[in-house]
Structure 1
Amino acid sequence: MLGWSLIFLVIAIIAGVLGFGGIAGTAAGIAKILFVVFLVIWIISLVLGRR
């Protein structure tokens, strides 16, 4: 998940530099969602792994 999030972040940065605002915004939104999902799964696994 974190890897995909970083890939979409890089795509957003490159698209933003090249002037593709719509693609950059979409890629940044997907990167944010994937990062939040990664954090939730990581916290759940951390809590359940301690038991």
Structure 2
Amino acid sequence: MDNKKASAGITFGCALAIAISWSAWHSIWWSILHGFLGWIYVIYYAIQYM
């Protein structure tokens, strides 16, 4: 059961990173890269731009 929660959190982090990246840069390549980074990019974006 814990593996499902962790997997859902990782998946959500990747989707959130892709959405933020697309809205900020409008580039599929940046979106792919930031999707791989996941929560790291989300936290970076929150600190840097908010």
TM-score (norm 1): 0.47
TM-score (norm 2): 0.48
